[in-house]
Every structure is written in C-alpha cells, then in structure tokens.
C-alpha cells in the first residue's frame, strides 16, 4: 500500500510564499513521476508540476512557471513544492500524486496514488 501525505498548506496574502511537502511511503524512484495537482471549487484538476525519476527532469504548468519550484529530497522520500509570488488564483486544494505519467504527466488519469490534499488560500 502506497501512501502520500501532503502538508504545508495555509493562508497567505498575495505575493507571499508557501512550501508544500509530499511524503511518500515508498522510495519514490519506484514511480516514474511524482506530480503536484491543484483543484479549485468548480474547476477541473490542474497539473502544477512533476518530477521524473526522482528529479532527473522537472516539468511545470504554464500558469506557475517561474514562480513554483519542485524539488525532491531523496533521503526523506519527500517532494517539495515551493510557491512564490502567490496570486489569489492559486487558491485551491493541492494534491500530490505518484504514477507512470503514461500519455502525459499532466493527466490525472496517469497517476495511481493520491494524497488527501492540503488547502492553499491566497488573499488579495
């Protein structure tokens, strides 16, 4: 049984920063991709970014490029999402996911395992 646990969410003003953590219960080299997604009420789940094979490659969605950074800590089986220059439109529940990334890392269907999510709220 694989478990993913997110932490680090909270409320912040626009322009602020937060760092989310995703603790994976298994060596995350087991998964081709570890990704971050987000979902706001009434909207589809959106791919934020992902790492491939423990950090060999990193990918970002267009809406967060230049503001968010994904970094792995292999020794802690943890993947971080550093979020800077936050905007109100970044408000969402943030999830981490692990899986094959088959047919594209941005597709939620490409991931077998999901965490419960952590809420991020950005006020203007």
Please state the rounded mean pLDDT for residues 89-104: 93
* CA 12 remoteness from chain centre: 18
The C-alpha atoms of residue 23 and residue 6 are separated, in whole angstroms, by: 6
Please state the rounded mean pLDDT for residues 112-123: 97
Q: What percent of the chain has pLDDT over 90?
A: 86
Range with the lowest mean pLDDT among 80-84, 100-104, 114-118? 100-104
Cα end-to-end distance, the chain, whole Å: 40
The C-alpha atoms of residue 40 and residue 110 are separated, in whole angstroms, by: 20
pLDDT band at 54 (very low <50, low <70, confident <90, very high): confident
């Amino acid at each position: 049984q694989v478990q993913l646990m997110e932490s680090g969410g909270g409320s912040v003003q626009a322009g602020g920063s937060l760092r989310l953590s995703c603790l994976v219960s298994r060596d995350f080299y087991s998964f081709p991709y570890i990704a971050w997604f987000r979902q706001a009420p009434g909207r589809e789940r959106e791919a934020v970014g992902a790492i491939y094979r423990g950090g060999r490659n990193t990918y970002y969605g267009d809406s967060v490029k230049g503001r968010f950074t994904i970094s792995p800590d292999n020794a802690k089986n943890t993947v971080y999402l550093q979020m800077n220059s936050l905007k109100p439109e970044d408000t969402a529940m943030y999830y981490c996911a692990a899986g094959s990334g088959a047919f594209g890392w941005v597709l939620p269907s490409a991931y077998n395992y999901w965490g419960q999510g952590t809420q991020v709220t950005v006020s203007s």
